[in-house]
Amino acid sequence: MNWIDTHAHLYGEEFSADRTVMVERALAAGVSRLYLPNIDSSSIEGMLALEAQFPDNCFAMMGVHPCYINENVEQELSVVREWLAKRPFKAIGEIGLDFYWDTTYREQQYHAFRSQLELAREYNLPVAIHSRESTRECIDEVKALQDGRLSGVFHCFSGTLEEAKEIIDLGFYLGIGGVVTFKKSGLDKILEDIDLQYVVLETDAPYLAPVPYRGKRNESAYIPLIGEKIADVKNLKIADVAAMTTNNALKLFKTH
């Protein structure tokens, strides 16, 4: 079976002791493509180094994560623009809004999100959207700029069934990760009513490891565990979940 991890921060310091072995573990588990969302200007070097080490398996995105937006927002956005002009990337990401940790830079977050959605239209690239405690707001921002040129994924989807349907109507995918394996997440109930053609799998490694690794460091090799849970929820064969979510991810990142 062939799997894709559509969202993993594998260049992070959490993997500094065993990064190469960890990626090889993912490949051995059948997870053949690993998409790397950027954080900010400080993470670019490590991300591109990992892509260079595994050019057939690791694929970089370019963007500024909302949790790293501050008064230097214009400087960070200019770095994003410079890199997009310099070489190709698979997506604009990780972008969005986060009102869970801190809302000090709320207006700067909105500005960065809108600016990067416009870059996605300009470069005809999908977006990876972070929407923690801001699903409604992120949907509204996408809706305001959707002219048929925006596509992407609401990474680590945590909204309602109604919001899921709105996201799908906008032409976007739902990114489902380890949270679906958590007993009280409620995500399994939502997935019962969502066609798998709108779902892609992700780890968000090193965060949100699925059961039985919950609370430990996450890694891309655990994607099949997420697939197993979805197969159980949807009453499907795991091979069908692998095939469909992989096909969805290839469409998302315009690889066929």
Alpha-carbon distance of 93 to 116, in angstroms, equals: 8
Residue 7 marked ligand-binding: yes
Helix (H) or strand (E) holding 36: strand 31-36
Query: Tokens 């623009």 label which residue?
Result: 81
Rounded Cα distance, 66 and 135, in Å: 13
Q: Give the 3-state secondary structure of residue 206.
A: coil
**256 annotated ligand binder:** no
Distances (CA, A) of 223 to 107, 174, 245: 35, 15, 11
* Burial degree of 186 (CB within 10 A; 0-12, 13-18, 19+): middle
Q: Is 155 annotated as a binding residue?
A: yes
Q: Which two tokens stand for residue 191?
A: 């997935």
Is position 9 annotated in a ligand binding site? yes
Alpha helices in the chain (DSSP H): 19-28, 44-53, 73-86, 106-123, 135-145, 161-169, 187-192, 223-234, 238-252
Tell me, what amino acid is at 158? Answer: S
Point out the annotated binding site: 7, 9, 94, 130, 155, 204
Point out the annotated binding site for a divalent metal cation: 7, 9, 94, 130, 155, 204
